[in-house]
């Protein structure tokens, strides 16, 4: 069974005093299986939090259907709340209460709460119980928020940017904790800006853009649609035109960067050629695309589309759900790769076969 | 109301109040109240100070020919000050502060329902207000050498209705304040009007009839009337019912306002 179902979700903010309403979520469909970690990614303003808030039951869906554990989280609040844990993007706790007082308060509004101390220990705040919330660091506040989300031993956990503001250690601890929770059968929906985190943690993910899901699947599936990269230094005495490449290469100075959907073949060609010519390809590396590259490319495509749309409303961006292919038409200067020149000096040549 | 009911059909029904949740939230709120020095000062000391000024004002003014004793001014007046300062004004600040700190939003992600969240926020202030009212009524009666209240039921009705009405109106007023700074100004109109025209400092009998009749419809006036009638008697059945009716009407109006406009999170 799916723990979370979202179908054709639309969320429009009411117009405030004559202004036009704002549509934060235009058309979002996805589902999260029981016991799965699902990551919702997107640039700021993509509609992640607006989507998650509907799932948390804080706001009704303007259109579409949302179910959490089979219930409508807004109208059937009393059925859903005891089984969910929520960490908002920004924690809301009275600054004058101590950590222990805050946890006690939260345990008091939670049925079947685990001992407060246990929850605080889980997030490593056990030694800070007598500190006022206002004296906590940003990362500690996030930990407290996480502890409270866990007090009710939730079946479904919503984490909106759980690690923002945490130091690397905090991020690692949190990721570890989330994995443990999954092992115990908890379903986790999280949003994050750390793509590496999503890639490592998430069983499946969706990338949002202007209120829509533009890519979804396992991290591998989302990345698979993106080209792999080969990079090396151009050997002395070799001109870019002489390279045995069937696709475009970007050459910056003597640095060559190739994007290809056929990594194995392309690499074989290159290595065989290098052996035959007896040249050394210094600094050679070859790797599949990372989620970060995939994400940035999708984001950039979004900007290009938005600019082309002109009205900026995001309507009419007809992008289907699922991994996208064929998005390479813009040439090699587009994209995120750190291997390419970002200063416009990129020398765009075709490594045509002789 | 039918239009509202249809529009609200999809909204969550008001769930039952859980004393456990109420106690947990109320306890946290009490801790916060005790740590807020300025709110505590206003809530505890102002009513006492203002009770003395009501007393001296009542003694200077010649109210005996209106058939009023000093005690019949001071006792309702002191409870009125408690209601306006310790409960109404204080709670506007509480609701706005919790909203701006995102506490209300966070609480709504949990199991507590809206009514519990709002009630718990008011609990410590109301409890403190009731305790103060009892102390001021008893202490005032002893100091002014007055006997037991003529109609204790009306005194109780006045205090209880006053507490509920002030809480509801505070929640309704909170939606007008965008910041905690504004939360200190927003209660002003209600407080000034109540002091001037609800019989707290000045008996309405000194006003021309038309003005007096208008003042009867203000939210705080029926509370003053009920308290005064409770202390000294002298309110006939019709007048008592009218006072009760006006007080209940303002409370319902406030509750309607809260349901329609209460903001659970800051404006963006």
A75 contact residues in B (CB cutoff 8 A): 10-12
Query: What's the pLDDT score for residue A316?
Result: 34
> Quick check: A58 and B35 CB within 8 A?
no
Nearest CB to A108; choose among B15, B24, B106: B24
Least trusted range by pLDDT, from A99-113, A163-177, A202-216, A293-307: A293-307
Q: Which residues of B touch A74 (CB under 8 A)?
A: 10, 12
Residues of A in contact with B27 (CB under 8 A): 104-105, 108
Q: Which of A86, A96, A97 is closest, CB to CB, to B109?
A: A86
Q: Under an 8 A CB cutoff, do B111 and A111 touch?
A: yes
Q: Do B110 and A109 touch (CB under 8 A)?
A: yes
Helix (H, G, I), strand (E, B) or coil at A68: strand
Tens-place pLDDT, residues A116-162: 999 999 999 999 999 999 999 999 999 999 999 999 999 999 999 99
Reported ipTM: the value is 0.88
What would the mean pLDDT of A17-21 be, rounded to a whole number? 62
Q: Which range among A72-81, A255-264, A317-326, B248-257 shows the weakest confidence by mean pLDDT?
A: A317-326
Residue of A nearest to B98 (CA): A94
Q: How far is CA B168 from CA A135, B95, B164, B174, in A?
A: 33, 11, 6, 10
Interface test with A, best of B106, B113, B264, B268 (most A CBs within 10 A): B106
**Neighbour tally for B148: CB within 10 Å:** 7
User: Residues A32-68, buried b or exposed e (16+ Cβ, 10 A)?
Assistant: beebbbbbbbbbeebbbbbbbbbbbbbbebbebebbb
Q: What digits encode the pLDDT tens for the residues B146-202?
A: 888 889 999 999 999 999 999 999 999 999 999 999 999 999 999 999 999 998 888
Mean pLDDT to the nearest integer, B136-150: 89
Best CA proximity match to B47, nearest among B77, B3, B20, B7:
B77
Q: Nearest 5°: phi and psi at A145?
A: -60, -45
Residue contact A94–B36, C-beta within 8 A = no
Say what the pLDDT of residue B114 is: 94
What percentage of chain B exceeds 70 in pLDDT?
94
Lowest mean pLDDT among A278-282, A310-314, B227-231: A310-314
pTM for the structure as a whole: 0.83
Give the gap in angstroms from C-alpha A111 to the nearest C-alpha of chain B: 8
Determine the distance from the C-alpha atom of residue A192 to the mean position of all C-alpha atoms in its chain, rounded to a whole number: 5
Asked if B10 lies within 8 A of A60 by C-beta distance, the reply is yes
Contact check, Cβ <8 Å, B10/A88? no
pLDDT for the residue B15 = 55
3-state helix, strand, coil in chain A (%, to 5): 35, 25, 40
| pLDDT tens by residue, A227-283 | 888 999 988 888 888 888 777 788 888 899 888 888 899 899 899 999 998 888 999
Q: What are phi and psi of A120, to 5 degrees?
A: -70, -35
Out of B35, B108, B110, closest to residue A106 by CB: B110
Query: What is the DSSP annotation of A246-264?
Result: SS-EEEETTEEEEEES-HH
For chain B, the residues whose C-beta falls within 8 A of a C-beta of chain A are 10-12, 15, 20-21, 23-25, 27-28, 31-32, 35-36, 98, 101-113, 116, 264, 267
DSSP 8-class letter at A98: B
Please state, in angstroms and as integers, the Cα–Cα distance from residue B170 to each residue in A70, A77, B93, following that order: 37, 26, 9
* Interchain CB distance below 8 Å, A95 and B101: yes
**What percentage of chain A exceeds 70 in pLDDT?**
84
**Nearest 5°: CA angle at A175, between A174 and A177?**
65
Residue B183 pLDDT: 92
The residue among A343 and A257 whose pLDDT is bigger is A257
Interchain CB distance below 8 Å, A88 and B106: yes
Question: Helix, strand or coil for residue B236?
Answer: coil
Q: Tell me which residue of B126, B121, B167, B129 sits closest to B28, measured CA to CA.
A: B121
Q: Residue A31 pLDDT more than 50?
A: yes
Shortest CA distance to B249 belongs to which of B156, B157, B154, B165? Answer: B165
**Residue in chain B nearest A57 by alpha carbon:** B109
Q: What is the mean pLDDT of residues A185-195?
A: 93
The confidence score (pLDDT) of residue A328 equals 34
Name the residue facing B101 among A57, A94, A101 (closest C-beta).
A94
* Minimal-distance CA residue of chain A relative to B30: A97
**Chain B nearest C-alpha distance from A293 (Å):** 32
Residue B105: which of A88, A107, A108 has the nearest Cβ?
A: A88
Q: What is the pLDDT of residue B9?
A: 39
Mean pLDDT of B16-39: 94
What's the rounded mean pLDDT across residues B238-255?
96
pLDDT at A315 over 90: no
Interface with B, mutate which of A109, A153, A156 (most B CBs under 10 A): A109
- Which position has the higher pLDDT, A341 or B154? B154
In chain B, what residues touch A76 (CB-CB under 8 Å)?
A: 12
Phi, psi dihedral angles at A3 (to 5 degrees): -75, -35
Query: Chain B partners of A60 at a C-beta cutoff of 8 Å?
Result: 10
Taking CA–CA distances from A88, the nearest residue in chain B reads B106
- Does residue A200 belong to the interface with chain B, where contact is any CB pair within 8 Å? no
Residue of chain B whose alpha carbon sits nearest to that of A104: B24
* Nearest by Cα to A129 from A93, A109, A92, A104: A104
Percent of chain A at pLDDT above 90?
Answer: 55
Higher pLDDT, B173 or B145: B173
Please report residues of B whose CB lies closer than 8 A to that of A106.
24, 110
Q: How far apart are CA A335 and CA A328, in angstroms?
A: 9
Q: Which of A30-44, A75-89, A302-316 has the lowest mean pLDDT?
A: A302-316
Confidence category of residue A305, pLDDT binned at 50, 70, 90: low
Alpha helices in A157-284 (DSSP H): 168-183, 195-201, 219-224, 263-277
CB pairs under 8 A between A and B: 90
Is residue B5 scored above 50 in pLDDT?
A: no
A91 touching chain B per CB within 8 A: yes
Nearest CA of chain B to the CA of A152: how many Å? 9
For the cut 60, the answer to whether the pLDDT of residue A338 exceeds it is no
CB contacts, 8 Å: B103 with chain A: 92-94
Mutation pick from B38, B102, B111, B124 vs chain A, by most beta carbons of A within 10 Å, is B111
* CA gap A75, A77 in Å, rounded: 6
Q: Which of A101-105, A327-331, B115-119, B256-260 has the lowest mean pLDDT?
A: A327-331
pLDDT tier at A341, thresholds 50, 70, 90: very low
- Closest residue in chain B to residue A90, using alpha carbons only: B102
Residues of chain B neighbouring A102 (CB-CB closer than 8 A):
28
Measure A102 CA to nearest chain B CA, in Å: 8
- Short-list A145, A207, A129, A130, CA closest to A177: A145
Residue among A220, A196, A218 at smallest CA distance from A205:
A218
**Nearest residue on chain A to B36, judged by CA atoms?**
A96
The H or E element that residue B148 is part of is: none
Instruction: Give the dihedral of Cα atoms A232, A233, A239, A245; nearest 10 deg.
Output: 0
Q: Tell me what pLDDT residue A126 has.
A: 92
Tens-digit pLDDT profile for residues B70-115: 888 899 999 999 999 999 999 999 999 999 999 999 999 999 999 9
Position A97 scores a pLDDT of: 96
Residue B3 pLDDT > 60:
no
- Of B52 and B10, more confident: B52
Query: Which pLDDT does position B19 carry in this prediction?
Result: 93
Give domain limits for chain B: 16-261
């Amino acid at each position: 069974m799916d723990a979370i179902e979202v179908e054709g979700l639309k969320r429009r903010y009411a117009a405030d005093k004559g202004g036009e309403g704002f549509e934060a979520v235009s058309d979002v469909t996805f589902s999260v299986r029981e016991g799965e970690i699902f990551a919702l990614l997107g640039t700021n303003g993509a509609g992640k939090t607006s989507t998650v808030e509907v799932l948390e039951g804080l706001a009704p869906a303007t259109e579409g259907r949302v179910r959490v554990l089979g219930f409508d989280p807004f109208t059937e609040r009393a059925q859903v709340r005891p089984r969910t844990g929520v960490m908002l993007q920004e924690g809301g706790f009275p600054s004058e209460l101590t950590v222990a007082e805050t946890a006690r308060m939260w345990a008091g509004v939670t049925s079947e709460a685990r001992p407060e101390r246990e929850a605080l220990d889980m997030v490593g705040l056990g030694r800070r119980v007598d500190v006022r919330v206002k004296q906590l660091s940003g990362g500690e506040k996030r930990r407290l928020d996480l502890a409270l989300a866990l007090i009710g031993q939730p079946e479904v956990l919503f984490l909106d940017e759980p690690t923002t503001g945490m130091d690397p250690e905090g991020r690692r601890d949190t990721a570890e904790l989330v994995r443990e929770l999954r092992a115990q059968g908890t379903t986790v929906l999280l949003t994050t800006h750390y793509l590496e985190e999503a890639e490592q943690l998430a069983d499946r993910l969706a990338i949002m853009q202007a209120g829509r899901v533009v890519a979804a699947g396992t991290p591998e599936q989302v990345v698979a649609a993106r080209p792999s990269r080969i990079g090396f230094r151009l050997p002395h005495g070799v001109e870019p035109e002489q390279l045995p490449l069937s696709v475009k290469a970007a050459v910056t100075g003597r640095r060559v960067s190739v994007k290809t959907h056929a990594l194995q073949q392309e690499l074989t060609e290159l290595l065989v050629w290098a052996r035959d010519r007896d040249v050394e390809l210094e600094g050679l590396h070859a790797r599949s695309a990372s989620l970060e590259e995939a994400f940035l490319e999708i984001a950039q495509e979004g900007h290009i589309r938005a600019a082309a749309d002109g009205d900026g409303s995001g309507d009419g961006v007809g992008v289907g759900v699922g991994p996208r292919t064929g998005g390479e038409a813009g040439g090699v200067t587009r994209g995120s790769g750190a291997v390419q020149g970002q200063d416009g000096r990129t020398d765009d040549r075709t490594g045509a076969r002789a | 109301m039918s239009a509202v009911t249809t529009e609200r059909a999809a909204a969550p029904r008001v769930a039952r109040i859980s004393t456990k949740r109420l106690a947990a939230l109320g306890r946290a709120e009490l801790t916060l109240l005790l740590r807020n020095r300025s709110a505590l000062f206003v809530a505890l000391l102002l009513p006492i100070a203002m009770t003395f000024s009501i007393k001296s004002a009542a003694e200077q003014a010649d109210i005996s020919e209106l058939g009023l004793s000093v005690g019949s001014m001071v006792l309702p007046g002191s409870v009125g000050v408690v209601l306006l300062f310790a409960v109404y004004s204080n709670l506007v600040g509480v609701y706005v502060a919790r909203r701006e700190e995102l506490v209300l939003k966070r609480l709504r992600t949990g199991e507590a329902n809206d009514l519990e969240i709002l009630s718990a926020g008011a609990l410590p202030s109301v409890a403190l207000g009731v305790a103060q009212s009892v102390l001021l009524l008893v202490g005032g009666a002893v100091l002014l050498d007055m006997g037991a209240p003529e109609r204790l039921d009306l005194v109780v009705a006045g205090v209880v209705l006053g507490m509920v009405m002030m809480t509801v109106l505070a929640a309704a007023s909170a939606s007008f304040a965008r910041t905690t700074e504004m939360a200190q100004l927003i209660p002003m109109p209600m407080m000034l009007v109540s002091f001037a025209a609800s019989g707290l400092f000045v008996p309405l009998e000194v006003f021309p009839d038309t003005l007096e009749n208008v003042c009867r419809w203000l939210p705080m006036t029926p509370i003053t009337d009920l308290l005064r009638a409770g202390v000294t008697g002298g309110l006939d059945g019709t007048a008592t019912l009218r006072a009760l009716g006006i007080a209940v009407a303002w409370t319902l109006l406030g509750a309607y306002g809260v349901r329609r406009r209460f903001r659970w999170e800051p404006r963006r």
